[in-house]
Structure 1
Amino acid sequence: MTRPTDSLIIFIARIALAILFLWGGAMKLLGYAGFIAYLHAHGVPYAQFMAPIATGVELLGGLALVFGMRMRFVAFVLAAYTIVTAVLGHDFWNITEAAHQQEAVVHFWKNIAIAGGFMLLAVTGAGRASFDGLRTPRGGLRG
Structure 2
Amino acid sequence: MTAGWQDGLLLIGRVAIGAIFVMSGFGKLMNLSGFTAGMEAAGVPAASFTAPLGAAIEFFGGLAIILGAWTWLAALLVALFTVVATAIAHRYWAVPAEQMAAQQTQFMKNLAIIGGLLAFAAAGPGRISIDGFRWRRENSRYL
Question: TM over 0.5: same fold?
Answer: yes
Which residue pairs with 2:132 in the alignment?
133
Residue 69 of structure 2 is matched in structure 1 by 69
Map of 1:72-111 to 2, 5 A cutoff?
72-95=72-95, 97-111=96-110
| TM-score of the two chains, using structure 2 as the length reference | 0.90
Deviation of 1:2 after TM superposition, in Å, equals 2.0
* Residue 122 (structure 2) aligns with: 123
The Cα of 1:124 is off from its aligned counterpart by 1.1
Kindly indicate whether the alpha-carbon contact (under 8 Å) linking 2:25 and 2:56 is maintained by their aligned counterparts in 1. yes
Q: How does 1:5-84 map to 2 (within 5 A)?
A: 5-84=5-84
Structure 1 stretch displaced more, 86-95 or 4-13: 86-95
Q: Distance in 1 between matches of 2:19 and 2:136?
A: 29
Letter in 2 for 1:69: A
Amino acid at match of 1:31: N
Runs of 4+ that moved beyond 6 A: none
Identity of aligned residues (%): 35
- How far apart are residue 29 of structure 1 and its match? 2.1
| Residue 39 of structure 1, CA deviation | 0.6
**TM superposition shift of 1:104:** 1.2
Alpha-carbon distance between aligned partners in 1 of 2:19 and 2:62, rounded to the nearest angstrom: 7
How many pairs align? 139
Could you tell me whether the CA contact under 8 Å between 2:125 and 2:132 is conserved in 1? yes
Q: One-letter code of the match for 1:75?
A: A
- Which residues of structure 1 form unaligned runs of 5+? none
Q: Secondary structure at the match of 2:136?
A: coil
CA positional deviation for 1:55: 0.9
Q: Distance in 1 between matches of 2:7 and 2:98?
A: 41
So what's the TM-score if we normalise by structure 1?
0.90
User: Any idea what SS the aligned residue of 1:137 has?
Assistant: helix
In the TM superposition, what is the alpha-carbon distance from 1:89 to its structure 2 partner? 1.3
> Is the Cα contact below 8 Å between 2:62 and 2:78 reproduced in 1?
no
Q: Which has the higher helix share?
A: 2
The amino acid that maps onto 1:125 is G
Equivalent position SS for 1:128: coil
How many Å separate the matches in 1 of 2:60 and 2:31? 18
Mapped to 1, the partners of 2:69 and 2:50 lie a distance apart of 24
Amino acid at match of 2:104: V
The alpha carbon displacement at 1:33 in A equals: 2.2
